[in-house]
Structure 1
């Protein structure tokens, strides 16, 4: 059985009025997206994670690859894929499902579980 955790992180946080998106605000010194991601990666259930990130061009420029390389250990980074999000949350979810359909073989679909999580809410 394969388990995928899709973390929606394409929002820019425009409604909060903050200079950075909610998923990058720190709680106790750690970005919210890391708190969310670690729950899945450190779970007893074996997850592969897909982070749906800010689509280019965006008002908010951020190097997600570098961020995760600096904040995750090797075993965790190998379970992580970063894909481009959409202009809306629904489009980001659609992008993640299309991505997973491309990497999961038809024979595996019955034994695959996909969790979709808003990364700004740990």
Structure 2
């Protein structure tokens, strides 16, 4: 079945405090975004990448593609005002029945093994969302204050979130709601259940400067 990876890198990266968005910052002399694209392209030779970028940085994204990748396998589209709209923009380029990966561009340590396991689950059940257990104690805010929650019932969500296009595209036709923090919440609101896959601890999301240091160390250790 045809495969698409919508790599969402539409954020401004304000928490990083840099002059360019975090997806374009250099990690071991290459842009953060490079690593996510590279892993997907190497995992499946029949996979197409749809890169969603801030409109003002599409030229920079094209420069990365021209420098490192086969441009025939990657298309660029502009992001929207929300993740929901950015993913919807990416989905508009999905042209046939397929399995669609939606991945945070700044989760640059994604592995081929996780991509394959998510694909296998999605082809079986229609969806696959990687998660890892919470290592920390959890407290839930309530009207009266807060209370402890059983961390064994709490899972931390990662990407890629993977769905059959016949599920994901119709789901993104519903009206946007603030609770849509990822693709799984959209599909659930559409009335479908989500299948979970064991994620990876090293599949971190770069949001702050310290994350760049951690990612560089993990890249060195994995080299």
Cα deviations across residues 1-53 of structure 1 (Å, max 9, x unaligned)? 10001100111112221111111112211111000000011114521000011
Deviations 1:62-103 (A, max 9, x none): 43223311222xxx2110000111011111011112232xx2
Partner of 1:50, secondary structure, is: strand
Matched, 1:84 2:86: no
| Corresponding residue of 2:63 | 66
Report runs of 4+ in structure 1 exceeding 3 Å deviation: 60-63
Q: Partners of 1:65 and 1:43 in 2: how far apart?
A: 21
Is residue 115 from structure 1 mapped to residue 101 from structure 2 by the alignment?
yes
Return the TM-score normalized by structure 2: 0.45
Gap runs ≥5 in structure 1: none
- 1:32 and 2:32 aligned: yes
Question: Greater Rg, structure 1 or structure 2?
Answer: 2
- Unaligned 5+ segments in structure 2 are 109-223
What is the Cα-based RMSD across aligned positions, in Å? 1.8
Matched residue SS, 2:14: coil
Q: CA deviation at 1:120?
A: 1.0
Count of residues in correspondence between the two structures: 108
So what's the TM-score if we normalise by structure 1?
Answer: 0.79
CA contact (8 A) 2:34 2:64 kept: no
Counterpart in the other structure of 2:153: none
C-alpha distance in 1, partners of 2:107/2:79? 17
Q: Which has the higher contact order (CA 8 A, sep 6+)?
A: 1
